Structure 1
Amino acid sequence: MGLDLRICPACGDRADRPLVAGAVLTCRECRHEWPFRKLPLFALTGPSGAGKSTMGPLLAERFGGDVVVLEQDILWIDALHDDVAAFRAVWLRMAAVLHQNGRPVVLCGTVAPPEFEPLPERAFFSDIHYLALVSTPESLGRRLRARPAWREWDEPRIEEMLEFNDWLQKSADELGVGLFDTTDVSTAATADHVEKWIRDRLPG
């Protein structure tokens, strides 16, 4: 079995839209069937400045290899800037490949269910669990304005992130996204909450 789940190990055909039933893939070309590891994906989301990047190394240390913690922005390269759907699809394929090693992925990045759920690659996961770290507009604005200049947080971009923060909080129930407000919560307490949220949803 290859690690790229889109490619049939029998005939080599690549499927843009995989044919999945349970944890079994079927090649549309030759009808070969093969099993794969279908694990849950954990999306730690929320606006920039709410604490996702801070959580990454803390979670990696706490889980000690039981899960793989990834930072979404490492693949935010020029080739993908003009096609956000392709960027999301690449991340789902990457997570699915890592899942074939037997460890669930925690992806830290600004994403919402409407950006993942319609993609063909969604079929590679048993569930995608979403937890959004959010904050008050005042606190979030202060954090973003305090960031170093190279991160290019000008006022229009900050306003866009504040709108996303507001939308997430208003839409969380409808979207099936958990919320955790980090405004007055310590980094350690936030990590405790996120760790428990993940452990409660791990297979087995």
Structure 2
Amino acid sequence: MLDPRICPACGDRADVPLVEGTTRMCDRCGHRWPFRRLPLFALTGPSGGGKSTVGPALAARLAGRAVVLEQDVLWTAGLRDDVDGHPAFRATWLRMAAMIAQNGRPVVLCGTVVPPEFEALPERALFSDIHYLALIAEPEVLAERLRARPAWREWDEPRIAETLGFNDWLRKHAEVLQPPVRLFDTSATPLEASVDHTVSWFDDLSTVDPVHESTWRRTRSE
């Protein structure tokens, strides 16, 4: 089975997936099976920071090396109805990214998220690390970008003010979050330079551990 919560031997669904190195384990029947525990890359930041602009170019640049996805594609009824950080929505994305990782490619997930919304979830165990890069902007630049969006996106002034507040909070707290969030200001940065910076962030953190990979392959062949 591809769902990383479900044991392929007994069919039990784990509330808290157990992962040890390159192996998933079933708490019920003791079955063990090979599991790629890759890093997840969260390209985050406030709306208007540049995620949706950088994302398509990033997908082209990282083609064959990573899978670039947009969080909002699953922002649907049910998943968006829960509160306190939308844990059902976040957990669904972690399971999706973990399934994709079994093909050998990490996921770059574009969408607003902060570490407490991922790190506390049971599905966090499915990844070796989660790396966070937030695209931010100066308040006046961010507000201008949001006001220029089409009407169907419903960016009224109260919603813009809320986003500016999050942008400011992120600037102040990024370094003390666990793990810390890297910041990159796109206020006066050309698109190509923003993409270059994001690719460099991915390159710096995406080195495959050869020991881990060889162990995974050996476990899979047994």
Once residues 55 and 65 of structure 1 are traced to their aligned partners in structure 2, the CA distance between those partners, rounded to angstroms, is 17
1:99 aligns with 2:101: yes
Equivalent residue pairs, number: 203
Q: CA deviation at 1:148?
A: 0.2
2:71 maps to a residue whose letter is: Q
Aligned twin of 1:78: 77
Once residues 10 and 79 of structure 2 are traced to their aligned partners in structure 1, the CA distance between those partners, rounded to angstroms, is 30
8 Å Cα contact 1:39/1:203 also seen in 2: no
What TM-score, normalized to structure 1?
0.97
Q: CA deviation at 1:56?
A: 1.0
| Identity score, percent | 67
Aligned twin of 2:202: 198
Aligned twin of 1:163: 165
Deviations, residues 90-143 of structure 1 (Å, cap 9, x unaligned): 000000000011101000000000100000000000000000000011100000
Aligned to 2:114, which of 75, 99, 112?
A: 112
1:36 aligns with 2:47: no
1:92 maps to a residue whose letter is: L
Deviations, residues 36-87 of structure 1 (Å, cap 9, x unaligned): 0010000000000010001111011111221000001000001212111100
8 Å Cα contact 1:45/1:112 also seen in 2: yes
Which moved further from structure 2: 29-38 or 84-93? 29-38
Aligned to 1:133, which of 132, 135, 158?
A: 135
Residue 135 of structure 2 aligns to a residue whose secondary structure is: strand
1:64 maps to a residue whose letter is: A
Q: Which runs of 5+ in 1 are unaligned?
A: none
Which moved further from structure 2: 100-109 or 57-66? 57-66
Once residues 132 and 143 of structure 2 are traced to their aligned partners in structure 1, the CA distance between those partners, rounded to angstroms, is 23
Once residues 80 and 71 of structure 2 are traced to their aligned partners in structure 1, the CA distance between those partners, rounded to angstroms, is 13
Once residues 19 and 124 of structure 1 are traced to their aligned partners in structure 2, the CA distance between those partners, rounded to angstroms, is 8
Q: CA RMSD in A?
A: 0.8
Once residues 181 and 103 of structure 2 are traced to their aligned partners in structure 1, the CA distance between those partners, rounded to angstroms, is 27
Once residues 17 and 63 of structure 2 are traced to their aligned partners in structure 1, the CA distance between those partners, rounded to angstroms, is 32
Residue 113 of structure 2 aligns to a residue whose secondary structure is: coil
Once residues 18 and 158 of structure 2 are traced to their aligned partners in structure 1, the CA distance between those partners, rounded to angstroms, is 42
Residue 19 of structure 2 aligns to a residue whose secondary structure is: strand
Q: Which runs of 5+ in 2 are unaligned?
A: 209-222
Q: CA deviation at 1:22?
A: 2.2
Once residues 63 and 13 of structure 1 are traced to their aligned partners in structure 2, the CA distance between those partners, rounded to angstroms, is 36
What TM-score, normalized to structure 2?
0.90
Aligned twin of 1:177: 181
Once residues 203 and 38 of structure 1 are traced to their aligned partners in structure 2, the CA distance between those partners, rounded to angstroms, is 13
